[in-house]
Amino acid sequence: MSFLQDYVYYIGAFGLVLIGLFIILSRRNLIKVIIGLSILDTGINLFLISVGYISKGTAPIFSKPGLVAEDMVDPVPQALVLTSIVIGVAVLALALALAMRLHKLHGTLDLRKIGELKW
Amino acid sequence: MVSPVLLIVIPLGLAFCVPLIGMVSKRFARFVPVVACLFNLVVSVQLLPAVLSKPIVVDLGGFGAPFSINLFVGPVGILFSLLIALAGFVVSLYALAYIDKGPTTRYHTLYLLLLVGATGVVLTGDVFNLFVFFEILCISSYVLVAYRGDKDGVESAVKYLIQGALGSALLLTGIGLLYGLFGTLNMAHIAVQAGSADPIPLFVAMALIVVGLGVEAAIFPLNAWLPDAHSSAPSSISAILSGIAIEVGLYAVVRMVFTVFGASSMLSFLMFLGVLTLLVGELCAFAQSNIKRMLAYSSIGQIGLIIFAIAIATSGSITGGFFQLVSHTLSKALLFLAAGYMIYRSGSMDISSLEGMGKRMPLTAFAFAVGAFSLVGLPPFAGFPSKLLIIRGALADGGALLALLVGLVLLGTVIEGAYFFRVIQTVFFKKGDGETARCEAPAIALVSMFVLVALIIVIGVYPSLIIGVLNSAASELLVRADYIGRVLG
């Protein structure tokens, strides 16, 4: 039980990563693939957060008396996640814009029917 | 002395000025990338002597090394930043005439952002910073591939985006693992601790990072996006993607393997992967009938050759690898630029449609021939000393295995020669049945091509001009302790 308690965030994060990966590899609809990418991103962000997380930790600001550094979570991964979320949003927006254009040009979002370019 | 930070800050600022200037005058906005690249070129040349005597480390934000994000401008960094500025300058000159339709101000903004991302990747000394610049590079190249908005462009941009985003996700996971292991993101600080770390998590982190970066570097088997993306993009963008973007991915892989992880056991694996990439690229290129796809596959082959040379990890072979990198950037950019206008005039990307182009546009065809000969490795062009150095470096090490791999590399070069000479024959010695009137590329595009022609010949005749820089770049990769000492002091 304590294993689960210690590693639950990692299990959750890698679960999301695997779900995202599975969706990207198995779905044929471009929108679903993009959703998979988004889930994958979320999983990685959760992983980054859990790298620096302490159970019942607080923000790293000396706001109350008696607060010591050992009770604070690591702020660096949170800064990384902030950046990574912004990048993820940009990629997602771009992917959806391209999907719209692809649908306009090909009349379908099915990746099997689109493949005109081959080796 | 100018600060190397300006190499990133000025083009980044100018990139976002392009739309503003474009509101006043679109004709004026297209000169912004030319100015920015020229600035980077001048600053890089100015920094070169200082960097060669002693690498410059800039701590951003005023904190000491492991706590701040730092730029490390060593010989490798300055070599790449020079190359990026040079190729960027030439291609932006070409684009003045070539990019005349569509949302041109957006093109120029994104083009500059692509170059900023590339410069940032090669100068930074922080893994997460590297990821951010890498994403700037990747996202702007996804958009630029789809610039024309036609069927092929959008389709290949979608493929590129999905594979690139997956690669970036793996890279970020690897960086997260590194931070979990070492509690730092500074490359030198990680490098110090990497030797004493638990090998299994370290290997997982390295595998994730190398695979993630390998997507952008187009290492086989992660290169499925490249032929589509490079052939569907506008030719000026193909030139930059082939000449700069994949090289920057390659730089990141090499920097991680050599400096951050110091993984000498990984090198023989990379060596085989390089030869495999080379052979797959060249064989696929041989089978193509579309000229841009052929050039794209040839880029994969060249990347394989560079990886092979660098992974041998002797000072001679790394020098050869970097030389090949320089000559590939110049030649492949030239080939794409020349092919761009030949395709524009003939209206088709089919190799057979280029018949008679030697008569119709002799100067462009001549530039194409120079690029092709240099890539194949004929003297007196830049490709000859680079291939000679690689083979000499590989054979100097001795060993039957290396000799066998060199044999395979030479086989790849023969295939390369075969398909390039086929194109040269089509262009010069077959009479086209259609038009015969002269229709040369515009003057500004010819100027940009002939700058590259001149550089290829000068470097080919006087390789000693750049060999000093390449030698110190090779020793920067080989001597990790030096890198660590410079950053952490």
Domain positions in chain A are: 2-55+70-114
- According to the model, what pLDDT value does residue B221 have? 85
- According to the model, what pLDDT value does residue A59 have? 81
Q: Which two tokens stand for residue A40?
A: 């994958």
Closest partner residue to B135 (CB to CB) among A87, A115, A119 is A87
Crossing angle of the two packed helices B383-396 and B315-346, in degrees rounded to 10? 150
Mean pLDDT by 10 residues, chain B (489 residues): 89 93 87 94 93 88 81 93 95 91 89 95 93 94 91 90 93 93 91 88 93 90 88 92 93 92 86 93 91 93 93 90 94 94 87 85 92 91 92 84 90 92 89 73 91 94 90 90 86
- According to the model, what pLDDT value does residue B336 have? 94
Q: Do residues B144 and B114 lie in contact, with contact meaning Cβ atoms separated by under 8 Å? A: yes
Q: Do residues B427 and B358 lie in contact, with contact meaning Cβ atoms separated by under 8 Å? A: yes
Of the residues A10, A18, A48, the best mutation for testing chain B's interface (the one with the most B CB atoms within 10 Å of its CB) is A48
Q: Do B166 and A24 lie within an 8 Å CB cutoff? A: yes
A40 pLDDT band, cuts 50/70/90, is very high
Question: What single letter denotes the amino acid at residue B45?
Answer: V
- According to the model, what pLDDT value does residue B274 have? 93
- According to the model, what pLDDT value does residue B284 have? 92
Of the residues B172, B186, B223, B289, the best mutation for testing chain A's interface (the one with the most A CB atoms within 10 Å of its CB) is B172
Q: How many CB pairs under 8 A join A and B?
A: 90
A119 pLDDT band, cuts 50/70/90, is very low
Q: Do B151 and A37 lie within an 8 Å CB cutoff? A: no
**How many CB atoms lie under 10 A from the CB of residue A28?**
12
Helix (H) or strand (E) holding B72: strand B70-73
The pLDDT tens digits for B46-88 are 999 999 988 898 888 777 778 888 899 999 999 999 999 999 9
* Residues A97, B364: Cα–Cα separation, whole Å: 37
Q: Do residues B92 and B29 lie in contact, with contact meaning Cβ atoms separated by under 8 Å? A: no
Q: Which residues contact B146 (CB under 8 A, 6 or more apart)?
A: A98, A101, B153, B154, B156, B157
Angle at A101 between CA B25 and CA A33, to 5 degrees: 130
The pLDDT mean for chain A works out to: 87
* Residues B172, B185: Cα–Cα separation, whole Å: 12
* Residues B259, A90: Cα–Cα separation, whole Å: 31
- According to the model, what pLDDT value does residue B236 have? 93
CA distances from B191 to B11, B126, B258, B401 (A): 30, 11, 10, 30
Q: Do A80 and B128 lie within an 8 Å CB cutoff? A: yes
Q: Please give the model's pTM, rounded to 2 decimal places.
A: 0.94
In chain A, the residue whose alpha carbon lies closest to the alpha carbon of B157 is A98
Q: Do A40 and B139 lie within an 8 Å CB cutoff? A: no
In this predicted structure, the answer to whether residue A106 has a pLDDT above a threshold of 90 is no
Residues of B in contact with A51 (CB under 8 A): 176, 179-180
Residue B468: Cβ-neighbour burial (10 angstroms; 0-12, 13-18, 19+): exposed
Q: Which two tokens stand for residue B295?
A: 């050039």
Q: Do residues B84 and B122 lie in contact, with contact meaning Cβ atoms separated by under 8 Å? A: yes
Closest partner residue to B154 (CB to CB) among A33, A80, A105 is A105
Tally: H helices and E strands in chain A = 4, 0
Q: Do residues B49 and B69 lie in contact, with contact meaning Cβ atoms separated by under 8 Å? A: no
Between β-strands B70-73 and B56-59, what pairing exists: parallel, antiparallel or unpaired? Answer: antiparallel
In chain A, the residue whose alpha carbon lies closest to the alpha carbon of B129 is A80
Architecture of domain A2-55+70-114: Orthogonal Bundle (1.10)
Q: Do B176 and A76 lie within an 8 Å CB cutoff? A: no
B371 DSSP β-pair partners = none
- According to the model, what pLDDT value does residue B434 have? 66
* Residues B93, B193: Cα–Cα separation, whole Å: 46
- According to the model, what pLDDT value does residue A116 have? 62
DSSP-derived secondary structure letter, B233: S
